[in-house]
A and B are shown apart, each in its own frame.
Chain A
Amino acid sequence: MGLSPFTLPNGLRVVLAPRKGVPLAAVNLWYAVGSKDERPGHTGFAHLFEHLMFEGSRDVRDNEHFLMLERVGGVANGSTWLDHTNYYETLDPKHLELALFLESNRMGYLLDTLEQKKLDGQREVVKNERRWRVDNRPYGAWDEKLYEMAFPAGHPYHHPVIGYMEDLDNATLADVEAFFRSHYTPSNAVLTIAGGFEPRRARALVERYFGPIPGGKRPKPRPVPGARPASGAEAVVRDSVALPRLYLLIHAPAPGEAAYHDAEAAAYFLGDGRGSLLYRELVMEGRTASAASAWFLPAEGVSSLVLCVTGQPGVSLKVLRTAFLRTLEGAGRRPLEAPETRRARHLNLAAAVLQEESLTQRADLLSEASIRFDDPGAALEQREGRERVSRDSLQAYLRRALEQPRFLLGFVPRP
């Protein structure tokens, strides 16, 4: 992969991944902090904090962060997940220094210009984001409700990343400051640069901009209980929707655990694509469902495998549920056929190829591997892991997974 990893004296891990002839550089910074690190009553804080990271820092005036990047055609954003937060810029390599300056300035000196007005402003933006993503959208609360069921109160994954509306009001400037000091230290982050840049110059720039930032202690990670639940749960939500829908969540292996790649492939086998089991049996043959899908959502400690089926008009939730569960039970018992395994394996591998082909996503994969395994090269092993999925390993995983406690959330139209 041509990787050059190194660590600065302040603890910042850096990965350089040059690719000759590419007229872009992708800068990607992962912080090992996510919604799992929030305190009770402060849900949504990690994500609100991500918004504040774009509001300027000691040497970057309000609104200038995006403006400076846009001026040179840079594309930038950030995202918050259960166990991490990432920030990224993709731009012409000749402007690499600008991206490193901006990332280092907010890593080192965000608090210098933080004020109540910025916090209040972004609080309103995030409330509107929640309304837009969750409250004013059909089925919008699915992940919130499903995770509440699948992870008991007190578990770091119990609450939604975007937070509860009432909790967003609880964030104070003191909270922001404490969060920054605890989690936004160089030792809690990984910086990756991928693309068409000159490695020696890039290293010098990294040292110049990030080197002076005080190290701080790497925070003790909040442990995520990986224990599998003893029993499942089921709930029904009445919502402003036209058709009944079912979501099912199964706890799945965390990155690095045995059978992790089998669980990834299981998503393709079960519900991703027109040849998947659920699409085949419920949409094509049984005609009880109008759509089927599946996602594999990796996270530290425990990942989630989520399946979703939407009913046909006139099909009740009860009928949909019966057909759905019968299909899954059958899948756990019967032997897999070779074309089914080949299909799931190839789709999973192709997804990896498509991810790595994108410079922006490649940088993200390298940061992820560094945070999760302390080894950027593990990103390559992910692909090898996908190649190792066999009929026997997928079969064994499915048998176990489909007998595990499951969490089932139904949506029905509100009368």
Chain B
Amino acid sequence: MRPSLPAERRETVKRGVALRTVEMPFARALHLALIFRDGAQGDPEGRAGITNLAARMLLEGTRGRDALALATALEGLGAHYSAEVRHEVSILRFSLPRELFVRALPLIGELVFEAGFRAVDFERLRDQTAAFLEKELKDPRETAAKHLNALLLRGTPQARPTKGTPESVRSAELGEVKSRGNALLRAGVEAVVCGRLGRSEKEALGVLMGRFPAARSPRSPLAAVTPAEPGLYFHPWPGAVQSELRLGTPGPAPGGAEWFPFLLLNTILGGKFTSRLNLNLRETHGYTYAARSFLQERRAISCFCVSAAVATGVTVPALREMFGELDGMTAAAFDPKEVTDAAGYLSGSFHYALDSPSLYLHRVVEREALWLGPDYFRRYLDFLDRAPGFDFRRVPRTPFDRSRAVLVVVGAPAVRGRLKALGMPLREI
């Protein structure tokens, strides 16, 4: 028998604003996430990073408090908080001791509804963000991830980096950022709270949620992608002692008919420590510290990705092993034991989220951010129960087809010549 999940209450507050509360009786803190139904996908053409600046400006002061006064007030209550912007949603998170939660809610309301958007704070945040992005340009793993995203989602608004580039951020202006901030509020919001909610917490939360305006129609999700030409994209990185490898193909739609079976196949390939990829590249060959595969999820699409950092000298042998494992996933059937093991892992590790309210909040936020529906957890766990008898021949394996994949290698310049041995089209980026 599987463990029961915490009681979750779903309600609609004024003007259609959704509130999800998850009761976890032993919690000592309360965790709140505000999910705004708009993200970096809404950045105007050529203005990547504007939404990220807008969401972060919410934490940079209000009409009545400058950035420092707001930070001092929130942190004076012990609040740990952050702003995150993805392509389709923007999320504010707050965690603080339960006894201080009620005092924090008016502050949270103030920062959302009375955002200051002061020029001095904006200019600083803009410079800070541009500096952060410049710093990332020197990081091979960040570079590899950004290349893969741009190649897989080419030609769509989601190909742009959510935080923008140093250049796009430096050219941002306060007016357009403020306008995006207002758009975030109008896009609709959903709140998720995990912890132990008493009467006073519920009342204060109701007051906060009642301030949100009615949601407008949500932005349409990205429905399909046409990646760049399959093949190998090489980014020379002088001095690199490892090659960062990223392979990607379009994956199935989250929550769709193929989704759960594909999640399970991905687990067999690279979703756990004893996955085929990790056992091969790490345990058998010692080529890497970790090799894994995963799905980057959006509302209506996903990207299937493989990732590893391998020692420079074994880049080509490591890629050959990776290809072999991908080819193995196109087999007609799987060893039932391997399927049972993967299903057991996914089911158990799902329940690991019960370890703490903050972990469980994360699970619920992911579900809500992707519009997966209230019965998603149940459907997922039901599938895992049935997985050992499931006919995986019905599941398309095209995401594992490496002839359709884009492969990014960020590594030492000397690696370029060796990559030719793979016989793939090779482009330098």
Contacts and interface: CB of A to CB of B under 8 A. Distances in A.
B57 to A, nearest CB: 13
A26 B221 CA distance: 40
A243 B344 CA distance: 46
B78 interface: yes
Given A63-B279, A243-B135, A350-B96, A70 B341 contact: yes
A354 B93 CA distance: 14
A283 B140 CA distance: 26
A66 B273 contact: yes
Interface residues of B, number: 72
Interface string B63-81: 0000110011011111110
Contact of A350 (B26, B78, B127, B356): B78
A131 B138 CA distance: 16
Given A343-B76, A357-B28, A23 B3 contact: yes
Q: What band does the interface of chain A fall in when counting residues whose beta carbon is under 8 Å from B?
A: 35 or more
A24 B240 CA distance: 43
A274 B29 CA distance: 21
Given A135-B241, A275-B71, A356-B28, A71 B131 contact: no
B78 A346 contact: yes
Interface string A332-354: 00000001001100110111011
B419 interface: no
Interface in A361-386: 361
Interface in B80-138: 80, 95-97, 100, 124, 127-128, 130-132, 134-135, 137-138
Interface string B310-354: 110000000000000000000000000000110011111111101
Interface stretch (A105-113, A122-130, A204-212): A122-130
A73 B348 contact: yes
Given A310-B135, A360-B355, A128 B242 contact: yes
B282 interface: yes
Nearest to A273: B75
A90 B355 contact: yes
A287 B75 CA distance: 21
Best-buried of A63, A70, A274, A343 by chain B (most CB within 10 Å):
A70
Contacts of B74: 275
A24 B135 CA distance: 40
B283 interface: yes
Given A24-B352, A128-B287, A240-B239, A71 B80 contact: no
Contacts of A313: 127, 130-131, 134
A390 B415 CA distance: 58
A121 B131 contact: no
B128 A137 contact: no
B352 A75 contact: yes
Nearest to A62: B283
B355 A274 contact: no
A97 interface: no
B138 A74 contact: no
B274 interface: yes
A290 B131 contact: yes
Interface in A62-88: 63, 66-67, 70-75
Contacts of B356: 354, 357-361
Contacts of B289: 125-126, 128-129, 131-132
B240 A136 contact: yes
Contacts of A359: 355-356
Contacts of B283: 63, 121, 125
B310 A128 contact: yes
Interface string A131-171: 11001111000000000000000000000000000000000
B131 A312 contact: yes
B395 interface: no
A102 interface: no
Interface in A157-199: none
Interface string B139-160: 1110000000000000000000
A73 B355 contact: no
B59 interface: yes
Contact of B76 (A22, A74, A346): A346
A287 B344 contact: no
A70 B347 CA distance: 10
7 contacts: A73-B351, A131-B242, A135-B242, A138-B138, A275-B76, A350-B80, A353-B29
Interface of B: 3-4, 25-29, 59, 67-68, 71-72, 74-80, 95-97, 100, 124, 127-128, 130-132, 134-135, 137-141, 239-242, 272-274, 279, 282-289, 309-311, 340-341, 344-352, 354-359
